[in-house]
């Protein structure tokens, strides 16, 4: 009963809920979502592999020619790897709507330009 | 020249009859869900049809296609029969309500008593349905439905008798005619109108009084074992009851339709929507009461108020 | 006639699986027996193969809603073991975020209790207002739920100047809504009928059953870790411990709504008094041998973390006791004598977070083998077994 | 609250009270004096409540710690019992609030609390095999799986 005036005021206002597929809210600028590598800068120091709480990052090869296998399924989006990377090779993207239909798709393999011809 | 029988058939099956009532029932459910949603600052049904108007029909057909389980322990006959009976009992009184012109399809002296009898039969059916499902929650739900019936039955009937006394007849059509050339009952019997609204909320088992099917306590109450076609029929019966309740309020207290058939249709629908709005508003504004609140509340306040209202009308001798 | 009603693991009134077995006599509860274990993830057993830095994120996932309180408590325990002093600014940021989480938790609780009472509109409004505070947390930490701001030795995100005005604006709105809800919850007849005099917990019983947090404060016991043992920046911030003497669900509601207002005052004070300076201190990975206990006032009550380290980079024993476990016995005590219709409201009264209450176990790195013991087997086994027994 | 005041209240040897830091006290007791010490602790004026009971495995013994919260400090009462006679007096009669904590430790450690009215399993499924205490160090992941019949 005590909510009457509040309810009638809401009758006129535009509803608060969003019609999701058609109306979207743009992510906040400091959002921490999926991370991605600029593989050329990576020096293969595997600091990010050790820091990652979800064991989502895997290093293949060593040194300058190392490649990264990044499993979004295990990633917690905590951003520790972004902070710990000495050469700032890892950057956070804004894409948080992640949908996959198989586990294999979750794993992205960052290859280097030179190696791509070989493997 | 359209012969008499075809005209009557059209009236029964098409216009103020089944087709119209079915679409009105679905429309009212949509209207109710939309209004309550807007009260709660959200959209309500949106995607099925323009502004979601076909959503109730979609729900109905979805339920029809669902698997229809009859529990092993339930006693089969009343369990299967109950939804069908509930639906027929919900539609029957609607034929006595004047929609086109000032008298309904079947209007005879005493159809108000028929409506009252059918409404109490419905509450009894709910009790049987819950009891027949022999589910623990179902049993508790049906006991509560029975208890709730004792609470609202007497004040509701008393408040319905009020307009009959002032109009001097027990037929809804005559009451409507009396109001057309007289004054609307709601102006001379406001208390009766309030008591009837509260009791109809209890009859429809809507939020403040949806104790028999309180999902957060007894997981759906008497409805718990019904599924598939049975649940579809029960929900449709619920919509019809909502239409019956609103149109009762409209015709007994707000004067019902008057004038040639197309104007009377518009006036009927306007008053009908006003009453539906009142019921939806009440649904959004309250928390659910406990069964003992309803019982004490009904016996301590509703019944004396209804009695007082009836005495007042007799005293004024209108 | 007496019924035996299972208020079982799957129930619309419960967000998380917990099982109560009620003996009902004419709608009155006469006996309660409770069972946990449906959402037991064996978090501490998983913790066995994680180092201290990674455990911060594990402690965050103990409970979805009071995640900041758990990380704060865990970080303080490790800082105590390391003998580390957190920079002043980090303390203030931790206090601000802890209070924001309290506001968000109390609005969520208000909505849930309204849903149990069947009051859909209040449920929708409370959760709509909760959105404003979640936007604030999203702006500061970049994430809506598990903020990942807290870490050992300080905080990872700073509160920039630009965000402070937006925080002020949203605090005004939240304060106005808190006023509105106080008026609604004290005047609306249907809410009063469903909460006043329901689920009574006498002060004497609350003390004997060691109730914590708002559940104890609603029975007149002024027990608040922020006042008893000021951690983070609570020492410098004056605030009032809210207590009511009603001992029923209604007074628990008023305690929480007043605490929202109290938190807003704390945040405003902290925002003004926040000093400049670093927000994080370098932390060694190995923790010296020792034991530490630390307590934090989570929105639901007192959180306790006990940590025993053995010099390596993995903890030896990590015991977490969440507030819900402490209030469970008081809940069983409150439920006796309540009639069936009020059971969900009384359960919602203590704001149960069952996932928290499951924190039990021991971890040890003595075996040195890299045991990928996954809590899942224990959890999968428990669920599958229940599926067979109850046949649903 | 200072160490001397604690010693005077509990009337036990000074050796048993260890001050870890200004707000943390640890009191070592044995089975006989456990209840006596707890009763005296509860009589102190700024006693608030029993926070929780922790159990951990130290070599061949199991150490049970009772964490008592006071308004200005925390006292942990520690007691060590050997693995073969896992018997402790229950304190439910003194503090009813300890019932769930004792059930928990009984579930996952096997410590018997005589005097606790209901030690039924709190966390583990009802037909959990006897003698398997998943929180003992020996019971690692593989062994528990093997014990549960492996196929699960």
Spell out the domain ranges in chain B: 4-316
- The pLDDT assigned to C358 comes to 52
Find the domain containing A83 and state its range. Answer: 27-118
- Tell me which chain C residues have a C-beta less than 8 angstroms from the C-beta of D52: 304, 306, 319, 321, 325-326
Q: Rounded to a whole number, what is the distance in Å from the CA of C141 to chain A's nearest CA? A: 7
Query: What part of C 335-364 touches D (C-beta under 8 Å)?
Result: 358, 360-362, 364
Q: Rounded to a whole number, what is the distance in Å from the CA of C276 to chain A's nearest CA? A: 21
pLDDT higher than 80, residue D134: no
pLDDT higher than 80, residue C363: no
The answer to whether residue A9 sits within a structural domain is: no
Span B259-287, pLDDT tens digits = 777 788 888 889 999 999 999 888 888 88
Whole-model pTM?
A: 0.85
* Alpha carbons B80 and C320: distance in angstroms, whole number: 53
pLDDT higher than 70, residue C334: yes
Rg (C-alpha) for chain D, rounded Å, is 17
pLDDT higher than 50, residue C371: no
Choose among B216, B219, B291: nearest Cβ to C118: B216
Total CB pairs under 8 A between chain C and D: 124
pLDDT higher than 70, residue C72: yes
Which one, of B202, B227, B75, B96, lies nearest residue B144 by Cα? B202
- The pLDDT assigned to C373 comes to 28
Confidence class for position C388, pLDDT limits 50, 70, 90 = very low
Q: Rounded to a whole number, what is the distance in Å from the CA of C145 to chain B's nearest CA? A: 23
* Alpha carbons C191 and C257: distance in angstroms, whole number: 15
The answer to whether residue D26 sits within a structural domain is: yes
Q: What is the ipTM of this complex?
A: 0.84
Question: Which tokens in the block code for residue C321?
Answer: 């006791």
The answer to whether residue A4 sits within a structural domain is: no
Span C40-71, pLDDT tens digits = 666 666 666 778 888 888 888 877 788 888 89
In C, minimum Cα distance to D149 occurs at: C381
Q: How many independent structural domains does chain C possess?
A: 1
Q: Rounded to a whole number, what is the distance in Å from the CA of B32 to chain C's nearest CA? A: 14
- The pLDDT assigned to C263 comes to 92
- The pLDDT assigned to C314 comes to 81
The answer to whether residue C370 sits within a structural domain is: no
Confidence class for position C269, pLDDT limits 50, 70, 90 = very high
Chains near D, with 3+ CB pairs < 8 A? C
Average pLDDT value for chain D: 79
The answer to whether residue A73 sits within a structural domain is: yes
Find the domain containing D43 and state its range. Answer: 3-123
The answer to whether residue D135 sits within a structural domain is: no
The answer to whether residue C218 sits within a structural domain is: yes
- Tell me which chain A residues have a C-beta less than 8 angstroms from the C-beta of C129: none
The answer to whether residue D151 sits within a structural domain is: no
In D, minimum Cα distance to C373 occurs at: D141
Choose among B210, B215, B289: nearest Cβ to C193: B289
**pLDDT, tens digit only, all 318 positions of chain B:** 568 888 888 877 777 778 888 999 999 999 999 988 888 888 888 888 888 888 999 999 999 998 888 888 888 888 889 999 999 999 888 888 888 777 777 888 888 899 999 999 988 888 888 888 887 778 878 888 888 888 888 999 999 988 888 888 888 888 888 888 888 888 888 899 999 999 999 998 888 887 777 666 666 778 888 888 888 999 999 999 999 999 989 888 888 787 777 788 888 889 999 999 999 888 888 888 888 888 888 899 999 999 998 898 888 765
In A, minimum Cα distance to B46 occurs at: A19
Contact B286 A17 (CB under 8 A): no
Q: Do chain A and chain B touch with ≥3 beta carbon pairs under 8 Å?
A: yes
Q: For position D105, which CATH number holds?
A: 3.30.460.80
Question: Which tokens in the block code for residue C14?
Answer: 């419960």
Span C25-42, pLDDT tens digits = 776 777 777 666 666 666
CB C30 within 8 A of CB C24: yes
pLDDT higher than 80, residue C265: yes
pLDDT higher than 80, residue D34: yes
Sheet of strand D47-58, all strands in order from the earlier edge strand to the far edge: D17-21, D24-28, D74-82, D61-70, D47-58
B42 reaches A (C-beta below 8 A): yes
Phi-psi sector, C197: left (phi>0), alpha (psi -120 to 50), beta: left
* Alpha carbons C302 and C327: distance in angstroms, whole number: 10
- Tell me which chain C residues have a C-beta less than 8 angstroms from the C-beta of B207: 118, 120
Phi-psi sector, C151: left (phi>0), alpha (psi -120 to 50), beta: beta
Span B199-209, pLDDT tens digits = 999 998 888 88
Percent of chain A whose predicted confidence (pLDDT) is above 70? 94
Q: Do chain D and chain B touch with ≥3 beta carbon pairs under 8 Å?
A: no
Q: How many independent structural domains does chain D possess?
A: 1
The answer to whether residue C336 sits within a structural domain is: no
The answer to whether residue C38 sits within a structural domain is: no
The answer to whether residue D146 sits within a structural domain is: no
Confidence class for position C139, pLDDT limits 50, 70, 90 = confident
Sheet of strand C19-25, all strands in order from the earlier edge strand to the far edge: C2-7, C19-25, C28-35
- The pLDDT assigned to C37 comes to 63
Q: How many independent structural domains does chain A possess?
A: 1
Contact B41 C124 (CB under 8 A): yes
Span C81-123, pLDDT tens digits = 888 888 999 999 999 999 999 999 999 999 888 888 888 888 8
The answer to whether residue A75 sits within a structural domain is: yes
Contact C148 A76 (CB under 8 A): yes
The answer to whether residue D28 sits within a structural domain is: yes
Contact B41 A19 (CB under 8 A): no
Contact B284 A4 (CB under 8 A): no
- The pLDDT assigned to C367 comes to 30
The answer to whether residue D52 sits within a structural domain is: yes
Q: For position A41, which CATH number holds?
A: 3.30.70.3270
* Alpha carbons C142 and C138: distance in angstroms, whole number: 5
DSSP string, C16-45: S--EEEEEEETTEEEEEEEE--SS---HHH
Q: What is the mean pLDDT of residues A72-101?
A: 85
pLDDT higher than 50, residue C141: yes
Average pLDDT value for chain B: 86
Contact B43 A4 (CB under 8 A): no
């Amino acid at each position: 009963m005590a909510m009457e005036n509040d309810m009638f005021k809401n009758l006129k206002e535009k509803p608060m809920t969003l019609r999701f597929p058609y109306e979207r809210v743009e992510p906040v600028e400091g959002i921490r979502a999926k991370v991605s590598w600029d593989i050329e800068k990576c020096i293969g120091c595997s600091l990010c592999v050790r820091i990652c709480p979800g064991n989502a990052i895997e290093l293949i090869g060593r040194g300058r020619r190392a490649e990264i296998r990044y499993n979004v399924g295990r990633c917690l989006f905590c951003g520790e790897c972004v902070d710990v990377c000495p050469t700032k090779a890892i950057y956070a993207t804004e894409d948080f709507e992640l949908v996959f239909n198989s586990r294999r798709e979750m794993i992205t393999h960052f290859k280097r330009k030179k190696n791509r011809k070989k493997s | 020249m359209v012969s008499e029988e075809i005209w009557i058939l059209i009236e029964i099956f098409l216009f103020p009859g089944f087709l119209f009532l079915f679409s009105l029932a679905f429309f009212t459910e949509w209207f109710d869900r939309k209004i309550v949603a807007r009260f709660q600052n959200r959209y309500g049904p949106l995607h099925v049809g323009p502004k979601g108007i076909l959503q109730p029909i979609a729900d109905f057909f979805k339920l029809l296609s669902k698997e229809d389980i009859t529990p092993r322990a339930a006693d089969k006959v009343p369990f299967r029969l109950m939804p069908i009976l509930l639906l027929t009992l919900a539609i029957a009184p609607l034929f006595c309500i004047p929609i086109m012109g000032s008298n309904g399809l079947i209007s005879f002296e005493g159809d108000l008593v028929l409506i009252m009898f059918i409404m109490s039969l419905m509450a009894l059916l709910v009790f049987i349905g819950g009891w027949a499902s022999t589910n623990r929650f179902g049993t508790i739900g049906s006991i509560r439905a029975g208890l709730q019936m004792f609470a609202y039955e007497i004040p509701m009937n008393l408040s319905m008798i009020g307009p009959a006394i002032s109009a001097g007849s027990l037929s809804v059509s005559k009451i409507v005619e009396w109001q057309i050339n007289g004054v609307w009952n709601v102006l001379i019997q406001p208390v009766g109108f309030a008591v009837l609204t509260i009791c109809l909320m209890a009859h429809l088992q809507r939020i403040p009084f949806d104790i028999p099917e309180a999902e957060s306590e007894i997981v759906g109450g008497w409805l718990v074992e019904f599924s598939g076609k049975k649940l579809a029929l029960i929900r449709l019966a619920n919509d019809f009851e909502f239409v019956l309740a609103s149109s009762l309020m409209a015709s007994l207290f707000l004067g019902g339709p008057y004038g040639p058939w197309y104007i009377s249709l518009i006036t009927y629908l306007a008053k009908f929507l006003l009453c539906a709005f009142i019921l939806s508003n009440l649904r959004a504004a309250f928390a659910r009461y406990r069964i003992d609140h309803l019982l004490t509340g009904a016996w301590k306040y509703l019944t004396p108020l209804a009695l007082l209202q009836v005495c007042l009308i007799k005293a004024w001798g209108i | 006639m007496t019924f035996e009603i299972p208020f079982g693991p799957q129930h619309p009134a419960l967000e998380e699986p917990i099982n109560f077995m009620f003996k009902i006599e004419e709608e009155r509860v006469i006996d309660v027996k409770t069972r946990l274990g449906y959402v037991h993830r064996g978090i501490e057993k998983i913790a066995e193969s994680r180092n201290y830095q990674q455990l911060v994120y594990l402690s965050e996932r103990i409970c979805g809603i009071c995640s900041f309180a758990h990380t704060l408590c865990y970080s303080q325990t490790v800082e105590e073991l390391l003998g580390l002093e957190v920079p002043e600014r980090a303390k203030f940021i931790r206090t601000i975020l802890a209070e924001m989480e309290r506001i968000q938790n109390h609005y969520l609780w208000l909505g849930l209790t309204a849903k149990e009472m069947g009051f859909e509109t209040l449920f929708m409004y409370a959760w709509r207002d909760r959105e404003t505070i979640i936007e604030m947390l999203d702006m500061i930490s970049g994430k809506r739920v598990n903020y990942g701001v807290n870490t050992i030795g300080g905080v990872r995100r700073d509160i920039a100047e630009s965000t402070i005005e937006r925080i002020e604006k949203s605090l005004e709105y939240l304060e106005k809504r808190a006023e509105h809800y106080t008026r609604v919850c004290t005047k609306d007849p249907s809410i009063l009928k469903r909460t006043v005099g329901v689920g009574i917990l006498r002060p004497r019983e609350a003390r004997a059953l060691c109730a914590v947090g708002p559940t104890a404060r609603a029975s007149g016991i002024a027990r608040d870790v922020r006042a008893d043992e000021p951690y983070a920046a609570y020492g410098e911030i004056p605030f009032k411990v809210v207590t009511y003497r009603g001992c029923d669900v209604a007074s628990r509601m008023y305690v929480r709504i007043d605490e929202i207002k109290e938190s807003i005052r704390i945040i405003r004070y902290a925002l003004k008094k926040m000093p400049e300076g670093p927000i994080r201190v370098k932390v060694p990975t190995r923790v010296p041998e020792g034991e530490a206990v630390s307590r934090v006032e989570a929105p639901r009550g007192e959180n306790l973390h006990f940590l025993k380290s053995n010099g390596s980079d993995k903890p030896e024993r990590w015991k977490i006791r969440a507030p819900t476990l402490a209030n469970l016995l008081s809940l069983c005590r409150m439920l006796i004598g309540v009639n069936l219709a009020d059971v969900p409201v009384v359960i919602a009264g203590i704001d149960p977070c069952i996932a928290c209450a499951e924190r039990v176990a021991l971890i040890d790195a003595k075996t040195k083998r890299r045991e990928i013991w996954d809590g899942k087997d224990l959890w999968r086994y428990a669920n599958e077994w229940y599926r067979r027994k109850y046949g649903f | 609250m200072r160490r001397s005041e604690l010693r005077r209240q509990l009337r036990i040897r000074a050796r048993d009270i260890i001050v870890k830091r200004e707000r943390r006290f640890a009191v070592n007791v044995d089975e006989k004096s456990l209840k006596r010490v707890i009763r005296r602790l509860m009589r102190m004026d700024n006693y608030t409540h029993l926070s929780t009971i922790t159990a951990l495995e130290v070599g061949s013994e199991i150490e049970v710690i009772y964490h008592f919260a006071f308004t200005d400090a925390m006292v942990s009462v520690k007691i060590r019992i050997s693995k073969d006679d896992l018997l402790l007096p229950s304190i439910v009669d003194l503090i009813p609030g300890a019932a769930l904590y004792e059930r928990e430790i009984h579930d996952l450690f096997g410590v018997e609390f005589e005097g606790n009215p209901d030690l039924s399993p709190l966390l583990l499924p009802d037909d959990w095999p006897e003698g398997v205490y998943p929180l003992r160090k020996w019971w690692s992941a593989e062994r528990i799986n093997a014990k549960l019949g492996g196929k699960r």
